[in-house]
Structure 1
Amino acid sequence: MIAVRIKVYGLVQGVGFRYCTKILADRLKIAGIVRNEADGSVYIEAQGPSIAVQEFIARVKLSPSPSGRVEKADVSLIAPNPDYQKFRVTY
């Protein structure tokens, strides 16, 4: 299992990005969170099997929302969070 933090920049708020990210995470059996940030970016923590997390990262970079546009995604490894049992949209 690996865990990552992703900060996504671009047209990622007001376009269903968080909810499409949750659908993607649920399909890939990824646990974690996604939330909007005050600076207009989206913050994600995701954890799961390595291959699933790598697929998740690749698809987030392409924008899971058809109306969204990702200009930049900063990805870093973090320690897995045992509290994450499913993927949630937070506020």
Structure 2
Amino acid sequence: MQKRLSILVSGRVQGVGYRGYARLIANRYCVTGYASNEPDGRVSIIAEGDELALDQFVTDLYAKDEPLIEVQSIEVSELPYVGEFAHFEPHFGDFQKEMFVRSELALEYMREMLKLQKRSLKTQTDMLDALRDMKKESKKRREVLERMIEAIHSQG
């Protein structure tokens, strides 16, 4: 049975490639329609297709394996089926504005990545220092053991 759904997705879903992600998922399930950004930060989706395909589509819209996308909630309501779409497409707004928003977001992610990299390098340095200390301690113990073995052999 063919159905039409109106879907509102909330969370970190703008400026992170969510509309393109929705298109990939729609193509996987032969779902038609569109996705567009809303002024309130949500993404609005109109989707048409087979009932089973739409159920799977909505499930996959949670984007659980996507590192930049963070879906908090999905509101779904059924509409009368129209059959007006040939494919699924993301709708984009003003190109300059979209690029500016994405650039700003990319800079935020790069800052976070640099912070993580610095923490990681600090941890690696600490681990190397600990390994060097362990090596020195091991060398001292080996020298003590060698002297003990030498003393035992010289007495025997």
Q: Using structure 1 for the length normalisation, give the TM-score.
A: 0.92
**Contact 2:8/2:75 (8 A) holds in 1:** yes
Three-state SS of the structure 2 residue aligned to 1:26 is helix
Alignment-mate amino acid for residue 58 of structure 1: T
Measured at CA, do residues 65 and 4 of structure 1 come closer, stay the same or move farther in structure 2, by a change above 3 Å?
A: farther
Question: What is residue 24 of structure 1 aligned with on the other side?
Answer: 25
Three-state SS of the structure 2 residue aligned to 1:56 is helix
* Greater share of residues in strand: 1
Distance across 1 between alignment mates of 2:21 and 2:65: 5
Task: Answer with 1 or 2: which has the greater Rg.
Answer: 2
Distance across 2 between alignment mates of 1:14 and 1:20: 12
What do you get for the CA RMSD once the two structures are aligned? 1.4
Structure 2: gaps spanning 5 or more residues: 93-156
Question: What is residue 63 of structure 1 aligned with on the other side?
Answer: 63
Distance across 1 between alignment mates of 2:5 and 2:25: 15
Q: Using structure 2 for the length normalisation, give the TM-score.
A: 0.55
**Contact 2:48/2:83 (8 A) holds in 1:** no
Distance across 2 between alignment mates of 1:18 and 1:59: 13
Distance across 2 between alignment mates of 1:6 and 1:24: 14
Structure 1: gaps spanning 5 or more residues: none
